[in-house]
Amino acid sequence: MRHSTVLIVGAGPAGLAMGGRLRRMGIPFEMLEQSEQIAHAWQQHYDRLHLHTIKEFSALPHQPFPADFPRYIPRRKLVGYYENYAREMRLEPHFGEEVVHVRREGQHWRIATRRGTEFEAQGVVVCTGFNRVVNRPKYAGESEFGGKVLHSREYKNPQPFLGQKVLVVGMGNTGAEIALDLYEQGVEATLSVRGPVNIVPRDFNGRPTQQTAKLLNKLPTSIGDWIGVQVQKLAIGDLTPYGIQRPDLPPAKQLRVKGKTPVIDIGTVAQIKAGKIAVKPGIDRYTPKGVRFADGSSDSFDAVILATGYHSRVQDFVEQAEGLLNEHGHPASSIAPPSHPQLYFLGFDAYSTGILESIYKESARIAADIYRWAGNDP
């Protein structure tokens, strides 16, 4: 049994931010990471990925990005930054320790890992993120399909798909970018879009949309939402003729109400309009050579990439967590209610700002709360 004041679960951006703040405050902690590396998800993402949020709002606490980093940071530079942050902050996770149970026992939390290691801590900060469990839908006929089916988590680059026809299922940020990545390398790509999609440009008139959104958030929501729709109409236009409907809710309201992030367009829309990336409706079933769609049409494909997202599923390992979740199945608050004293969730708030900016802000709030009960006076 190992003992610590605080146990941090996860060594991604949220876990690193939490560790950095506690290190600076002199509060003892241990950090568990189920993989064998810092920021495992970012290490594994597809090659061309860049942050869609600007660097000014995406850094970890106490360590801004280097001045020579581009505004939209590429994955490899970001991974290097995270690894350096861990070194600078002396963050040394226990790697290969997948947490399987977090249980309140008396005045402490008892944490068990799949390896059989046990920890006891006064407080626990869960930093396992939105993307913990792959959402992999099953469609009828998959066993008959002669091509390859993979989740977007397995996609790295277009190289394995050269000379093939590929269907990308789902037009979130990942699906839209993978389709563009494939097209730009000469792969024939089609997007399967099941329902309406809110799309906004990454930049508008030379200004990052994230900055514009922050300004609009200061206005009454009705005015901010109206302006957001006008920008969307000017920058994106009507995509109905191309098979993509716009939701009834404006982008910002959809994020607030449904917790669904709009697609940040970096060029996919232009290729759809140019007829270079085809759009089809949702899948009905697989066929031996391809897919039949919900409108009855069929097409042949060599591979299907499921860009269908993830589940956070903290209830899989946190005892009695169901009451802590919002309507989207994610932790409702960074600081749990009195029923779960000194339990925290970091990296699950993407409803009002970018996830990395949220991690920066919420980690400060959590750290202040820990500082109080740890016997100090902030």
Q: For the segment 146-204, what is each residue's pLDDT rounded down to a tens digit? A: 999 999 999 999 999 999 999 999 999 999 999 999 999 999 999 999 999 999 999 98
| pLDDT bucket at 348, cuts 50 / 70 / 90 | very high
Among 135, 139, 185, which residue's Cα sits nearest to residue 162? 185
Q: What is the dihedral of CA 262, 325, 22, 69, to 10 degrees?
A: -10
pLDDT for position 257: 82
pLDDT for position 375: 66
Please report, rounded to a whole number, the percentage of residues in the chain having pLDDT higher than 70: 98
More confident position, 254 or 117: 117
Among 125, 157, 148, 81, which residue's Cα sits nearest to residue 305? 148
Domains in the chain, CATH or no CATH each: 2-132+312-373 (3.50.50.60), 136-306 (3.50.50.60)
CB proximity list for 55: less than 8 A, separation 6 or greater: 65, 69, 70, 71, 72, 73
Helices (H), the chain: 13-25, 40-44, 75-88, 173-184, 209-216, 221-235, 251-258, 268-273, 355-373
Q: Region 365-377: what's the mean pLDDT? A: 87
pLDDT for position 218: 84
pLDDT for position 378: 41
Pairing state between β 207-208 and 203-204: antiparallel
| Spatial contact of 304 and 190, defined as CB atoms under 8 Å apart | no
Among 236, 317, 341, 330, which residue's Cα sits nearest to residue 32? 317
Determine the number of helices (DSSP H) and then strands (DSSP E) in the chain: 9, 21
**Position 219 pLDDT exceeds 90:** no
For the chain, the distance separating the N- and C-terminal CA atoms, rounded to the nearest angstrom, is 30
Q: What is the dihedral of CA 131, 137, 142, 145, to 10 degrees?
A: -50
CA 347 → CA 110, 131, 356, distances in Å? 22, 10, 8
More confident position, 314 or 254: 314
CB proximity list for 271: less than 8 A, separation 6 or greater: 180, 183, 277
Q: Which residues pair with 120 in a beta bridge?
A: 3, 110
pLDDT for position 217: 79
Max CA pair span of the chain: 67
Q: What is the dihedral of CA 293, 295, 296, 298, to 10 degrees?
A: -40
Element (H, E) at 105: strand 99-105
pLDDT for position 376: 60
